[in-house]
Amino acid sequence: MRIFSGIQPTGRKHLGNYIGAITQYVAGQDRGEGIYCVVDLHAITVSYDPAGLRTAVYDTAALLLAAGLDPERCIFFRQSDVPEHTELTWLLSSVTSFGDLNRMHQFKEKSAAQRELVTAGLFTYPVLMAADVLAYRAHEVPVGDDQRQHVELMRDVAERFNARFGETLVVPQVRIPAVGARIMDLQAPERKMSTTSDSPQGLIHVTEEPAQIVRKVRAAVTDSGSEVRRGPDKPGISNLIEIMAAVRGSEPAAIEREFEGSGYGSFKQAVADAVVEYLAPVRERYGELRADEAALERALAGGAERARAIASDTLADVRAAMGVGAVRPRG
Ligand code: TYM
């Protein structure tokens, strides 16, 4: 079983990324062959600062290592170090439907948020994402709920490629966690927690100071009731129940039973303490790993070499199937 996922080097990663995706990457190392990538080429599709991008790649790489990715037990690399991703993006664009790209929720949201330029790269972003996964013939793609539509698109692309050019690519399955697939903003619980949120108080960074975490959870927006239970009219409390269940590795219903009658104040304090404890080991390891950029570069370079060995093999098959380039003996 081969598992692939990617994460953007944008800003500091938050509790939603950690619960929805990063913990799944770490677990994937025991379930199969994990291949994980920091997708710097996706990050350039919106306005960005070049020097800041390099730094953000190190931040994200250090965070993933601190969370438990082990370059000995998985392949961990930076997307732009493996040029096969960009070549495959172009080749796959000829089996990607323009209409499908036009229907992507993320494109609609992100293009609406751009003040100056909506780039063609933002539009074809999902094709690069398809190339990321299909280059490795991965079977499974662990992501949060917001990436579901992108994974559906890459499945269509793989199916269309195989139908048109013969069985070449693996059609991957999405893997979305049962609990914590969509962590919401603490200040605006009808919106997902996101780096681009305009309420810093609504977002918990993975490496945030414990005192800040406690403050933010205690200040989370809730309704005027007092019962700790989920409901459509209780998005704030529902989100805290979901967070608590994910952090504890239990079920939302079990959390509701445990905190029945306890009131919002003491429930929030319990959630805050649990989140602090949950993130503490990552925060402790992060500082040391982030300080050694040369070691991070070495880890990423080693991963890129192993990734290229796999991706270049797929590319040779894709080129051959499409009748592109010189005839090359295989073997
Ligand atoms: P990115 O960098 O925005 O997010 C990384 C992962 O975190 C998940 N996530 C969440 N999960 C739960 N609650 C939230 N509030 C929340 N916010 C984010 C995302 O679903 C994601 O799994 N396009 C991708 C990166 C990518 C990729 C790929 C993923 C590029 N190539 C290939 C899988 C396979 C993205 O922007 O993720």
What pTM value is reported for the model?
Answer: 0.96
Phi and psi, residue 330, nearest 5°: -95, 150
Q: What is the DSSP string of 21-41?
A: IIHHHHHHHHHSEEEEEE-HH
Q: Which domains does the chain have, with CATH numbers?
A: 2-180+293-322 (3.40.50.620), 200-287 (1.10.240.10)
Query: pLDDT tens digits for 145-201?
Result: 999 999 999 999 999 999 999 999 999 999 999 999 999 999 999 999 998 777 889
Highest mean pLDDT among 113-122, 193-202, 308-317: 308-317
The CB of 129 under 6 Å from ligand 1? The reply is yes
Q: How far is the CA of 142 from the centre of ligand 1 (A)?
A: 9
Atom 19 of ligand 1: nearest residue by CA position: 144
Q: How far is the CA of 143 from the centre of ligand 1 (A)?
A: 6
Q: How far is the CA of 314 from the centre of ligand 1 (A)?
A: 24
**Identity (one letter) of the amino acid at 148?**
R
Res. 330 pLDDT band, cuts 50 70 90: low
Q: Residue 173: which H helix or E strand, with range?
A: strand 173-175
Q: Which residues contact 263 (CB under 8 A, 6 or more apart)?
A: 226, 228
Q: Which residue has the tokens 């493996």?
A: 82
Query: pLDDT tens digits for 50-71?
Result: 999 999 999 999 999 999 999 9
Q: What is the DSSP string of 302-326?
A: HHHHHHHHHHHHHHHHHHHHHT-SS
* Mean pLDDT value across the chain: 96
The CB of 144 under 6 Å from ligand 1? The reply is yes
- Give how far Cα 87 sits from Cα of 102, 198, 279, Å: 22, 36, 38
Say yes or no to pLDDT of 143 above 60: yes
Q: How far is the CA of 99 from the centre of ligand 1 (A)?
A: 23
Cross-strand pairs, 34: 3, 74
Say yes or no to pLDDT of 331 above 60: no
Tokens of residue 69, six digits: 């990715």
* 213: Cα within 13 Å, side-chain hemisphere: 22
Distance CA 89, CA 102 (A): 17
